[in-house]
Amino acid sequence: MSRPMHDQDPPVGLRAHVLGAGALILLGVVLFVVACSTATGVREHIADRYAAAGTERVEGARTDSLVYTSSERPSRTAGEISGAVTPADRRVAPAGVFLRYDEDFVTVVPRAGGGSTIYVDAEDAGYRRGFVYLGGWWGTYSGRGESFRGGGPGGGK
C-alpha cells in the first residue's frame, strides 16, 4: 500500500534548492555581521591612519577640533579618507578640502613645510571653521551674510 501524496518526501531537486537558499542566507548573515563589526567611522579611520597633533579650539564651538597630520598633499589625503569612509558631501575650495559626514566635518588643508593638516570637527565647529567656504553651500547658516541677503530672487538686495 502506498503512502498518501502529502506524506511523501519533496523531490530531490526542490530539496537541493531549499538547502542552497538556506546556505546563501546564512552566508549573507555572516558577511553582514563581519561588515558591521569591521566598519569604522571617519573619526576612527583618521585616528588609526594619521599622526595625532593635538586639539584646537574653534571660537564659539562647543567642542575642540581633533588635529592630525599627513605627509601627503590635501587632495590626496582627502581622497584616501573619502575612499575609506564615504562622505555625504565634498567641497574643494582654495583653502583645502571639506568632507561632510552625518555628524562630523573633516577639513584637510595644506601644512607649512608640506603635507596636510586634518581637522576633525563636530558639526557646529566644522561649519564655523569652514564658514567662508561652506556658508550657503551645505545647509543653512547664520552670520554676517544673512544681514544683507534676501530669501529669494531679487529680494533683500
Residues in the chain where the model's pLDDT stays below 70: 1-13, 17, 22-23, 27-40, 127-128, 130-157
- Please give the model's pTM, rounded to 2 decimal places: 0.62
pLDDT tens digits, one per residue of 19-43 = 777 667 776 665 555 444 444 699 9
Give yes or no for a contact between 126 and 100, defined as CB atoms under 8 angstroms apart.
Answer: yes
> What residue spans of 39-151 are helical by DSSP H?
42-49, 74-84, 123-129, 131-134
* CA pair distance 145, 136, nearest whole angstrom: 9
Q: Which regions of 9-60 does DSSP assign to beta strands (E)?
A: 51-56
pLDDT tens digits, one per residue of 65-77 = 899 999 999 999 9
